[in-house]
Amino acid sequence: METEYLGYAAGLLTTFAFVPQAYRMIRTRQVRDISLSWAVAMTTGSLLWLCYGIARESLPMIAANGISLVLLSIILALKIRHS
Amino acid sequence: METEYLGYAAGLLTTFAFVPQAYRMIRTRQVRDISLSWAVAMTTGSLLWLCYGIARESLPMIAANGISLVLLSIILALKIRHS
């Protein structure tokens, strides 16, 4: 049970880390220093981690990667739109 | 077993995603569009995911977050140095 709290703490950090990044991209419309390869790999990777979380029955992984996937899709769309 | 392959595929993507990002930061020395909050939260979060992976005995999580932690520490150092 304590292990799961650790997972939720990790998930909160790595998920909501994308919020200021997305906000900065929306506010400045500057995306030059963001690597497109990074955005594509992270979005695809999050989807796979989500599937892995479901297979391993890890609620923190499912929650964190589900939300990350949405935020990363926004970041990827902004990168493509403003490049 | 197949589940673990899924984890390794996810880990390869989300870990090596940081390589082009770090490379771009080293090459251009431009870090303005990278959010400091993002870099701090991701580095701390990776450390916690690594601990979670150890607790859940997930080799893909241990490998992916161990390497991510190193790469994110480099990105964080570059952000602080070139800001």
Q: Is B5 on the interface with A (CB under 8 A)?
A: no
Chain-centroid distance, C-alpha B24: 15
Angstrom distance (rounded) from CA A18 to CA B38: 6
pLDDT in tens, B55-83: 999 999 999 999 999 999 999 999 999 88
Domain count, chain A: 1
Closest-CA residue in chain B for A12?
B45
pLDDT in tens, A19-58: 888 888 889 888 887 889 889 999 999 999 999 999 999 9
pLDDT in tens, B22-58: 888 889 888 887 889 889 999 999 999 999 999 999 9
Confidence tier at B1 by pLDDT (50, 70, 90): low
Q: Tell me which residue range forms the domain holding B50.
A: 2-82
CATH no. for residue B60?
1.20.1280.290
pLDDT at A1 over 80: no
Question: Whole-prediction pTM value?
Answer: 0.87
Q: What is the ipTM of this complex?
A: 0.86
The partner residue sitting opposite B13, judged by closest CB among A25, A48, A58, is A48
Q: Is A58 on the interface with B (CB under 8 A)?
A: yes
Angstrom distance (rounded) from CA A82 to CA B12: 27
Cα end-to-end distance, chain A, whole Å: 44
Three-state SS string across chain A, please?
CHHHHHHHHHHHHHHHCHHHHHHHHHHHCCCCCCCHHHHHHHHHHHHHHHHHHHHCCCHHHHHHHHHHHHHHHHHHHHHHHHC
Mean pLDDT, residues A2-13 taken together: 94
